[in-house]
Amino acid sequence: MFALAENRYGKSRVRLVKVTRSAAGNDLREWTVQVLLRGDFDSAHVDGDNSKILATDTMKNTVYSVARSSTATSMEAYAMELVDFLLGRNAQVSSAEVCISSAMWKRLTMNGKPHPDSFMRGSNELQTTRVERAQGGVFTVVSGVDELVILKTAKSGFEGYIQESLTTLKETSDRLFGTALKAEWTYSVDGLDYEAVRTKMRETMLATFAGHDSKSVQQTLYAMAESALAAVPEVAEITMAMPNKHCIPVDLSRFGQDNPNEIFVPIDEPHGYIEARVIRKS
């Protein structure tokens, strides 16, 4: 005998650009949205009965319709509106989750002033959120950043690690330290100015990265997480991943030249991967 243990389904990679127009200037947001539903869908899996299934194409249309009527000023608030809309119309849904990643657009600067309606695409950095609520429950909000590529050219070394028969890496007190930061944090309260909190978390982590005298990626990751939690008491915990973006010194000795840690070749693969979750002590 067999039984369906759990399931969920939804619509992924729904692309949305929203322009909010005002006399003072326009705001531009580019979001990629994922909707996932859990609920009473056993009959669809076991019997082929689709009577409780909300078509994923309908979910796509819902993303656009709710965006049109939304007054949210953050993607977290918009995700909450979308979750509530879906739960309110579908009693068979036990919980809804909305995940959003936001691309970076920046205003053009003309004559030293931000242009009111023209923008340029920034880096590949994404701002993210994941919002979930069960019927009759409270919201869980997890926000973060992804693909935030950062690098420091000083105050970074890696020494004192295990030396054994397969070790070829040379110890150094002066190396380039590059990474593509992914961070997700969980809020302990709701009703926040999520945009302001995200900015504070991001700026705090970047300031720590820049100023830290790094003995390892692990040490710097923990210092960044610790400073972010100290700066924002509304965040309960943070999970961070910092894969290495290696820059390998080039051996120029065969050309009769030295290399005082100035000429490198960047490589992505293979790379080290460091991850940790940091929580507040009770």
Name the active-site residue from 32, 52, 56, 140. Answer: 56
Residue 246 among the catalytic residues: yes
Name the active-site residue from 11, 60, 182, 245. Answer: 11
Residue 56 among the catalytic residues: yes
- Three state DSSP letters for the chain: CCCCCCCCEEEEEEEEEEEECCCCCCEEEEEEEEEEEEECCHHHHHHCCCCCCCCHHHHHHHHHHHHHHCCCCCHHHHHHHHHHHHHHHCCCEEEEEEEEEEEEEEEEEECCEEEEEEEEEEEEEEEEEEEEEECCCCCEEEEEEEEEEEEECCCECECCCCCCCCCCCCCECCCCEEEEEEEEEEECCCCCCHHHHHHHHHHHHHHHHHHCCECCHHHHHHHHHHHHHHHCCCEEEEEEECCECEEEECCCHHHCCCCCCCCEEEECCCCCCCEEEEECCC
Name the active-site residue from 182, 212, 245, 246. Answer: 246
Catalogue the active-site residues.
11, 56, 246
